[in-house]
Chain A
Amino acid sequence: MKNLKNTIWLPIALLPVWFLIYKNLTPMTNWITDTAFGMEKGTHFTEAFRFFIFEFPKVMLLLTIIIFFVGIIRTFFTPERTRKALEGKTTFTGNVMAATLGIVTPFCSCSAIPLFLGFIEAGVPLGVTFSFLIAAPMINEVAIILLFGLFGWKVTAIYVVTGLTIAILAGWIIGLLKLEKWVEPWVYEAHMGINDSEEEKLSFEKRIRLGYDAVKEIVGKVWLYVALGILVGAGAHGYVPEDFMVALMGKSAWYSVPLSILIGVPLYSNAAGIVPIVSVLIEKGASLGTALAFMMSVIGLSLPEMVILRKVLKLQLIAVFVGVVSLGIICVGYLFNYAL
């Protein structure tokens, strides 16, 4: 029981420490750079160094605290509950709900198949299931935190809203096309067991414990990508010319949006690795629309997930899925390149 007590008091005790460090990050990094190391102000190397030792702890601090709370919140949004909420919904409302729930319901691409089967089995329409499957990987907490940390809330809001719109519309269109015939027939023959109505009862302490586990698992997995991404960013920050990416990914290059999607889909990276890279691209002249499109195609459409989904979907349906989502991403790219 002693351990359980600690799980509650430890985070409460750590919270002020967290705030103190977060609030004082700028003077601390300046002190380390200018006083402790006595580096010469304004040189490329000094500024690259300053950028790294400021951005890396900042992003890690944000990740730790938000993943902890998201981990706790997520224990209330189990896939079973999400499925129950989506049962028997009319299509459009169902698509909106599915996409929104996709953000908060825990999801890993290795669970995509059982989840898909579970949804279909419960009578959730195919298009609504797709809205969930599109939103869940594309809009996740790691992407949101990193975007917020490196770009601020505006870009984050744009990403979430456009990502949701794509997931809702793409799922809705797939629903309209009535593509059930391209789902592997065994999916409709399979029958879920009787266990599915049971739900694990979790105590408050256990939920906090799961928050810890989420931090350990996710931060433990992504910190290296974050470090590498920001390291590349720091390097480019000082050394690569400002207009380096203009020709390839700038506004005036009309082909930049489809091109970045073509590059983005086979590239498989998690949000942690790609957001710092995207921030470099933007700093070096890539336009926001192109950068967003690139990022969405890297996290939202991944080759390994397609391979996994092939077990339950015929190739035609996977093609439609990729096609519709890509089209949505292209629209988002052009919208932000030309309309705004």
Chain B
Amino acid sequence: MGAPMDVLEIRGVVKSFGGVRALQDVTFSVRQGEIRAIIGPNGAGKSTLFNVMTGLFPPDSGEVIFDGERVSGVPPYRIIRKGVGRSFQITNIFPRMTVFENVQVALFAHHRSSRNPVGLARRYPAVASEALGILGQVGLAEKYEQSASILSHGDQKRLEIAISLASRPRLLMLDEPTAGMSRFESRETVELLRTISREQGLTLVFTEHDMDIVFGISEKIVVLQQGMVIADGTPAEIRANPQVRKAYLGEEISA
């Protein structure tokens, strides 16, 4: 049972695909405002866990609790409305819309203006300034007129974060936020995430393969291997954990 401060609880989540167990009894919880990494070797079940947590598919058993409310089995669009944001490993933006429109449409969805078919989208000054504000936060304000498809990879990732932020989430889940970025871009993105989390009290859950980033910013880390949680603790605890070491370097095989 999590403490009252827990914003996210994963309880005994099991998920199989065609007989292969992708997740086996995964349990952990995330506190309000925490920066939490989920790591593990390829195929450990990180993406599956992410997809279960954001409603892409329901768990076979177990449950996901967000803010004291069960969200497993709820379709993604409803989970998002409850205050969960998500970014994707493969950059997931609206390529043939402008940078501004990308964020604007997210804000429309958030403010429930999407259903208005008669007003003009450009006559929403509050939304426009909010969008520009968010773009400023991620450093894209000057590129607001550009088509999203011509942005650099790093900018596209940033745009995706901006889109996620526009839903004003209390919990933001990021799947490999720096994948494919240059070192410089990664460092900037990490700073950005840290600032946003600190300023807005936003809870961050992310997966990442860059260990410098994982150990640089997370407060707690959960390690998955073959669909099971093999460790859950602070960066120092994880670094010292022999089982984690083995998961990454493999068992010593007797010759």
On whether the two chains bind one another, the answer is no
> Which A residues have a C-beta under 8 Å from some C-beta of B?
none
